[in-house]
């Protein structure tokens, strides 16, 4: 299975475009939130027998999702130091039309990336991931307003994953992205496919152009999905609380495949410790969480 996620955030909006490919079927989901009004709009599309153009070469790769009502194109041009995203969604009675163009400029000094390969340990398989963050510019138009995103306020996060999953898989992921004291900060924490998470995980903190590998974390929800998510580690480097602002929940059944997932917009509060010993204090820092259950 393969997933491609593109997340973006600025002072007015935060959102995610996700493309999932299981071979015999694929789906696209785009979720956008207005950070001031908390208004949420979501667009989905299922494709059969599956997407034919997943990422194969990061130097110059185009991933497209085309239909009369839903169009997405993610063009990764690492050889030209750019990542472009174009989308155009037709509206309906429950949601407005939405379109936009976003661009990550990888020439900026705050750009950082991380490539990882995580072995399963008990199987001759692995998970490969590539994570990239950079300043973002572009524009978004909806039926409500038009927004222009400029460097200095916009942040992009590009995440590509390819892996084999078991017949029952639980995935928890949290991504934060924004600026702290004028410096770009983004991070991703989640559970690993390997039981030895201390040695094999792809948790990472990007800070002002430097990637800091992070220890494994435990994500708990003592008050359920709607309550605070607690993210902590055993090395006192991560101590965060993720407070839900809006939850986009969905259940889907395709043939023998079942999914139950939540895409959550929320805010982080707490502390992160860099490998250099510097401490970052986060207060109402924007981010997106994922809670997914896959069953076959």
Q: What whole-number distance in Å separates Cα of residue 258 and Cα of residue 279? A: 41
Q: What's the pTM?
A: 0.93
**DSSP per position, 30-59:** EEEEETTT--EEEEEEEESS--S-----TT
Residue matched to tokens 């602002």: 245
Q: What whole-number distance in Å separates Cα of residue 137 and Cα of residue 265? A: 21
Burial pattern 199-237, b for ≥16 Cβ within 10 A else e, equals ebbbbbbbbeeebbebbbbebebeeeeeebbbbbbeeeb
Question: By percentage, how much of the chain surpasses pLDDT 90?
Answer: 60
- Tokens representing residue 205 in the block: 């903190």
Domain holding 180, by residue range, is 2-295
Residue 83 pairs with which residues in a beta bridge?
Answer: 76, 104
Q: What whole-number distance in Å separates Cα of residue 133 and Cα of residue 110? A: 8
**Of 46, 15, 19, the residue nearest 31 (C-alpha):** 15
Overall domain count for the chain: 1
Q: What whole-number distance in Å separates Cα of residue 235 and Cα of residue 221? A: 20
- What's the angle, vertex CA 137, arms to CA 57 and CA 262, rounded to 5? 70
Q: Per-residue pLDDT tens for 153-185?
A: 999 999 999 888 777 778 899 999 999 999 999
Q: Per-residue pLDDT tens for 35-49?
A: 999 999 999 988 876
Average pLDDT, the chain: 89
Q: What whole-number distance in Å separates Cα of residue 35 and Cα of residue 29? A: 19
Confidence (pLDDT) at 157: 97
- Tokens representing residue 274 in the block: 């860099």
Q: Per-residue pLDDT tens for 233-261?
A: 998 999 999 999 999 888 877 666 677 88
Which regions in the chain score pLDDT beneath 50? none
- Tokens representing residue 186 in the block: 């983004």
């Amino acid at each position: 299975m393969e997933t491609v996620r593109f997340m973006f955030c600025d002072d007015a909006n935060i959102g995610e475009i996700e493309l999932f490919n299981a071979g015999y079927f694929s789906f696209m989901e785009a979720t956008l939130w207005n950070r001031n009004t908390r208004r949420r709009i979501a667009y989905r599309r299922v494709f059969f027998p599956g997407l034919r153009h997943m990422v194969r070469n990061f130097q110059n790769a185009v991933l497209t999702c085309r239909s009369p009502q839903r169009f997405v194109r993610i063009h990764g041009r690492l050889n030209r130091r750019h990542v472009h995203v174009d989308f155009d969604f037709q509206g309906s009675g429950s949601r407005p039309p939405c379109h936009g163009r976003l661009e990550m400029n990888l020439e900026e000094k705050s750009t950082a990336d991380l490539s990882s390969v995580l072995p399963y340990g008990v199987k001759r398989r692995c998970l490969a991931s590539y994570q990239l963050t950079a300043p973002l510019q572009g524009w978004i138009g909806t039926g409500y307003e038009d927004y222009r995103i400029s460097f200095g306020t916009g942040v992009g996060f590009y995440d590509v994953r390819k892996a084999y999953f078991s017949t029952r898989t639980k995935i928890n992921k949290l991504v934060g992205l924004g600026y702290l004291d004028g410096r770009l900060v983004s991070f991703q924490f989640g559970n690993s496919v390997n039981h030895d998470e201390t040695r094999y995980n792809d948790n990472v903190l990007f800070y002002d152009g430097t990637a800091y590998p992070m220890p494994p974390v435990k994500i708990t929800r003592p008050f359920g999905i709607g309550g605070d998510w607690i993210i902590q580690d055993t090395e006192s480097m991560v101590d965060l609380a993720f407070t839900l602002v809006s939850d986009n929940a969905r259940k889907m059944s395709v043939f023998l495949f079942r999914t139950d997932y939540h895409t959550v917009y929320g805010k982080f509060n707490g502390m992160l410790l860099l490998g250099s010993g510097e401490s970052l204090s986060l207060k109402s820092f924007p981010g997106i969480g994922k809670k997914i259950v896959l069953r076959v």
